[in-house]
């Protein structure tokens, strides 16, 4: 069981991730903005972050940059993006060690990825 | 035939003149040589004859002296002398006669005492002096030389004379040696003359061609300089002539350029105060004429405002100099750098981001003046609107892609959740179905908007008029967005009159209008706010209002937000996702119904969009009916 933050402004996506991850035995902390996500992360104990790119206030890239550079957290991060400039985003996220899942995504595949990342983080 | 004609043509052309003159000279020379030869032949023959006659005459005088009666009186002696004479001189006959023409002595003694011999009629019987005569022999048509000489000492007048006949006549032809020499001289001299003629002709051939070209193009050489060029010669004269032609052509070109430039300058100077200058001043394109050091030689009104210099010419201002009124420092710097740094003579283009939201396109054209110095013409166009439209279009495509992916993401994810069989909670299953349904409708509306804007782009939007139950239409619209209102804790109200008669309209298109306006109201209203949809009908119009207590719209953006792909510049608006086509689509649909959308709003005080549509749609204007 792991504590996972899901940062996404679309309520349906947050709800869906919550259903899947809860069933897998994880604790989900929902955030509708980047600011809310930062608050959850600052509280500590978070083992993985799933974040959208386009969010009001603080977008996904800014959030991960804050996470890596300011918060100093090296937890696994998965990004969900519906933007058309995937290549540009992918390059930046690669530098930040972020796994990118373009929208529309498969929730089962996303869950498998989450489990693999958590296992790798625990192992190493 | 053609060959003959061309030969005649060539013969008649000036190019053949030297050849004909040369041939004529040779002919004259040959004739003169022949005449000279003929005259010389006669003279030589005469001299030869005279010498022969003189020689024979001398010999017969000598013979006469030998027959002097004082010295030779004996017959046998005379006979012997005559015989020796015949033998030595080769004469045919020789005799001595007395005054009675009786033979006194003869090589043949039998003839002595007889009267025989040749006598020309009327000839002197006893010549006092030696004489020579030519006698013709009628028997053989030959002529003979007859010589007589008096015998000295035979009395006065002489009683005796010697007569000799020589088978000799004047030479009719020259001797072969002289003829051969003359022929050789003639041949050598003719050959020499021909050689000289050939050399001269070769030397003067280029002159002939030049003269011919000049004659052919007489009076229009200025227009046909190339035609004067000699094509098939490689001698020094031809090369010099062709170089001369080239130089003349270059000079003419230079003169033409100079003349054209002067005419242009003259025309420009004349029109400076005229219509052209006025037009140039007023054109909406910036026009600058710059010297190499960026001195502004001319600026029209637009350029003057843009770079901060007085309009007109010869202001003395320098591009980039002190100015408090210029609109774009960046434009000035870019053009200045181009002028100062370029060495090329080809035009070039620069896209300039002025940094204040405006964009300019500058085309800079180097030109050379008569004094070989450079000038630069800069044409500056304000392309801000075009750049903004391009940017907006790109953003629209990006935004539409994002907007399409969002409902698709939910539809796919929730459908997979249902089909996975992993979730048997009825509440979760119901939730999945609801989300799929809702997102499908959202996707449908989005596609409808995109289609509408596409139809608006090409002018092919068609309205399908029908009786529309407004109560049903408005209630459905509110129901569709109630979930959003509840999620944002917004008080969503609908206020309808008790009685609302149907109107003629395109129901689906009208639903798009209401949905877009309601969606915007909810999107830009904070949690705890209020959105009210109301409807009333006047005698002629249906009026639908959507009022919200949201962030409001700055009046400067009231028109802009109805333009395609444009959104308010308010940062609060930009935080929300949007395509910038919802209001454009809504207004166009309403206009196609003959109505209008109005907006009342202030920043921070909410907004009210009011849709006014004529009730009577039975006779809509053609422009807004089925287009």
Do B423 and A57 count as a contact with CB atoms less than 8 A apart? no
Please determine, for residue B333, whether its predicted confidence score (pLDDT) is greater than 80.
yes
To the nearest whole Å, the CA of B578 is away from the closest chain A CA by: 12
Q: Which of residues B491 and B92 earns the better pLDDT score?
A: B491
With bands split at pLDDT 50, 70 and 90, how would you rate the model's confidence at B122?
very low
Q: How far is CA B262 from the centre of its chain?
A: 23
Q: Using pLDDT thresholds of 50, 70 and 90, give the confidence band for residue B423.
A: confident
- The Cα of B468 is separated from the nearest Cα of chain A by a number of Å equal to 33
According to the per-residue pLDDT averaged within each range, which of B95-99, B222-226, B242-246, B465-469 is highest?
A: B465-469
From the list B614, B622, B621, B623, the residue with the least C-alpha distance to B505 is B614
Which residues in chain A have their CB less than 8 angstroms from residue B408's CB? 103-104
For B608, phi then psi, to 5°, come to -135, 115
Task: Give the integer Cα–Cα distance in Å for B82 and B408.
Answer: 164
Helix orientation angle between A11-23 and B426-458, rounded to the nearest 10 degrees: 150
Q: Which residues of A touch B398 (CB under 8 A)?
A: 83-85
B interface test, pick of A9, A11, A13, A16 with most B CB neighbours within 10 Å: A16
Beta carbon pairs, A and B, within 8 Å: 65
> Which region, left, alpha or beta, applies to residue B197 given φ > 0 means left and ψ of -120 to 50 means alpha?
alpha
Q: How confident is the model at residue B621 (pLDDT cuts 50, 70, 90)?
A: very low
Identify the pLDDT of residue B194.
Answer: 80
Which chain B residues have a beta carbon less than 8 Å from that of A20?
Answer: 417
Average pLDDT over residues B24-36: 78
**Dist CA A117 CA A106 (whole Å):** 17
pLDDT of residue B262: 57
Residue of A23, A57, A107 with shortest CB distance to B413: A107
Q: Which of B409, B414, B428 has its CB closest to that of A105?
A: B409
Q: Of B618, B592, B611, B624, nearest to B537 (Cα)?
A: B611
Mean pLDDT of A87-92: 78
Which residues of chain B make contact with A108, given a CB cutoff of 8 A? Answer: 416, 420
Q: How far apart are CA B253 and CA B487, in angstroms?
A: 83
Q: Could you tell me the pLDDT band of residue A56, with boundaries at 50, 70 and 90?
A: confident
Please tell me the total number of residues recorded for chain B in this structure: 627
- Widest pairwise Cα distance in chain B: 201
B481-515, pLDDT tens digit by residue?
888 888 889 999 999 999 888 888 999 889 989 99
Q: Which residues in chain B are closer than 8 Å to A85, comparing Cβ atoms?
A: 398
Cβ proximity of A37 and A7 under 8 Å: yes
Pairing of strands B348-353, B359-368: antiparallel
Closest CB from B416, B423, B435 relative to A106: B416
Reported as a single tens digit per residue, the pLDDT across B505-563 is 999 889 989 999 999 999 889 999 999 999 998 888 999 999 999 999 988 888 888 88
Measure CA of the first residue to CA of the last residue in chain B; give whole Å.
78
Q: What is the pLDDT of residue B222?
A: 61
Distance CA B225, CA B242 (A): 10
Digit-coded pLDDT (tens) for B55-81: 888 888 888 888 776 654 577 788 888
Nearest-Cα residue of chain B relative to residue A12: B410
Say what the pLDDT of residue B4 is: 43
Could you tell me what percent of chain B has a pLDDT over 70?
A: 78
Distance CA B300, CA B279 (A): 9
| CA-based nearest residue in chain B for residue A80 | B409
Mean of pLDDT over chain B = 79
Residues 6+ apart with CB under 8 A from B495: B532, B533, B534, B535
Residue-wise pLDDT for B262-278, tens only, equals 565 566 666 555 566 67
Percentage of the residues of chain B whose pLDDT score is greater than 90: 15
* Mean pLDDT lowest among A62-76, B249-263, B339-353: B249-263
On the question of pLDDT at B19 being above 70, the answer is no
Q: Measured between alpha carbons, how far is A54 from B574 in angstroms, rounded to an integer?
A: 12
């Amino acid at each position: 069981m792991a504590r996972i933050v899901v940062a996404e402004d679309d309520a349906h996506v947050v709800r869906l991730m919550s259903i899947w991850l809860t069933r897998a035995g994880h604790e989900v902390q929902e955030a509708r903005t980047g600011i809310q996500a930062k608050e959850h992360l600052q509280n500590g104990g978070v083992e993985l972050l799933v974040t959208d790119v386009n969010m009001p206030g603080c977008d996904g890239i800014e959030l991960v940059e804050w996470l890596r550079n300011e918060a100093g957290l090296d937890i696994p991060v998965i990004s969900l993006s519906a933007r058309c400039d995937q290549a540009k985003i992918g390059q930046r996220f690669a530098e930040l060690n972020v796994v990118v899942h373009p929208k529309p995504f498969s929730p089962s595949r996303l869950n498998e990825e989450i489990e693999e990342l958590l296992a790798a983080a625990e192992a190493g | 035939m053609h060959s003959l004609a061309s030969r005649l043509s060539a013969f008649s052309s000036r190019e053949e003149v030297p050849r004909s003159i040369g041939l004529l000279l040779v002919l004259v020379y040959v004739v003169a040589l022949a005449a000279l030869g003929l005259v010389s032949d006669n003279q030589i023959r005469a001299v030869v004859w005279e010498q022969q006659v003189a020689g024979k005459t001398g010999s017969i005088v000598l013979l006469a002296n030998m027959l002097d009666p004082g010295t030779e009186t004996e017959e046998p002696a005379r006979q012997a002398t005559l015989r020796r004479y015949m033998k030595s001189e080769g004469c045919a006959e020789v005799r001595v006669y007395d005054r009675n023409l009786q033979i006194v002595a003869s090589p043949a003694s039998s003839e002595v005492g007889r009267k025989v011999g040749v006598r020309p009629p009327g000839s002197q019987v006893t010549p006092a002096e030696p004489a020579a005569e030519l006698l013709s022999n009628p028997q053989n048509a030959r002529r003979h030389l007859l010589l007589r000489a008096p015998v000295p000492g035979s009395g006065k007048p002489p009683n005796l004379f010697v007569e000799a006949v020589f088978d000799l006549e004047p030479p009719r032809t020259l001797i072969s040696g002289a003829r051969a020499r003359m022929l050789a001289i003639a041949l050598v001299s003719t050959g020499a003359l021909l050689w000289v003629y050939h050399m001269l002709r070769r030397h003067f051939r280029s002159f002939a061609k030049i003269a011919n070209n000049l004659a052919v193009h007489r009076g229009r050489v200025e227009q046909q300089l190339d035609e004067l060029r000699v094509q098939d010669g490689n001698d020094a004269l031809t090369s010099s002539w062709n170089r001369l032609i080239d130089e003349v052509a270059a000079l003419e070109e230079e003169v033409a350029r100079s003349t054209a430039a002067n005419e242009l300058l003259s025309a420009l100077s004349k029109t400076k105060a005229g219509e052209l200058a006025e037009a140039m001043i007023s054109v909406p394109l910036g026009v600058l004429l710059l010297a190499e050091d960026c001195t502004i030689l001319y600026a029209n009104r637009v350029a003057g405002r843009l770079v901060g210099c007085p309009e007109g010419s010869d202001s003395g201002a320098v591009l980039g100099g002190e100015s408090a009124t210029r609109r774009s420092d960046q434009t000035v710097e870019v053009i200045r750098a181009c002028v100062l740094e370029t060495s090329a003579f080809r035009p070039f283009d620069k896209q300039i981001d002025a940094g204040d939201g405006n964009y300019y396109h500058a085309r800079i054209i180097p030109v050379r003046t008569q004094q070989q110095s450079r000038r630069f013409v800069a044409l500056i166009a304000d392309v801000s609107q075009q750049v903004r439209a391009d940017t907006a279009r790109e953003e629209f495509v990006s935004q539409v892609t994002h907007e399409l992916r969002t409902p698709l993401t939910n539809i796919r994810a929730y459908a997979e959740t249902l089909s996975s069989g992993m979730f048997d909670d009825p509440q979760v299953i119901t939730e999945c179905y609801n989300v799929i349904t809702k997102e499908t409708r959202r996707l449908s509306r989005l596609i409808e908007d995109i289609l509408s804007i596409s139809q608006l782009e090409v002018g092919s939007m068609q309205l399908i008029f029908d009786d529309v139950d407004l109560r049903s239409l408005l209630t459905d619209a509110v129901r569709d967005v109630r979930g959003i209102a509840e999620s944002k804790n917004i008080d969503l109200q609908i206020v309808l009159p008790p009685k609302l008669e149907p109107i003629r309209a395109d129901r689906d298109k009208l639903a798009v209008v209401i949905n877009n306006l309601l969606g915007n109201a909810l999107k830009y209203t904070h949690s705890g706010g209020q959105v009210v949809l109301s409807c009333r009908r006047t005698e002629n119009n249906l009026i639908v209002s959507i009022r919200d207590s949201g962030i409001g719209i700055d009046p400067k953006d009231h028109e802009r937000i109805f333009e395609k792909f444009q959104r308010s510049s308010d940062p609060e608006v930009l935080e929300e996702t949007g395509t910038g086509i919802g209001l454009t689509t809504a207004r166009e649909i309403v206009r196609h119904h003959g109505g209008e959308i109005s907006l009342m709003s202030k920043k921070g005080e909410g907004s009210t969009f009011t849709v006014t549509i004529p009730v009577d749609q039975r006779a809509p204007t053609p422009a807004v009916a089925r287009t």
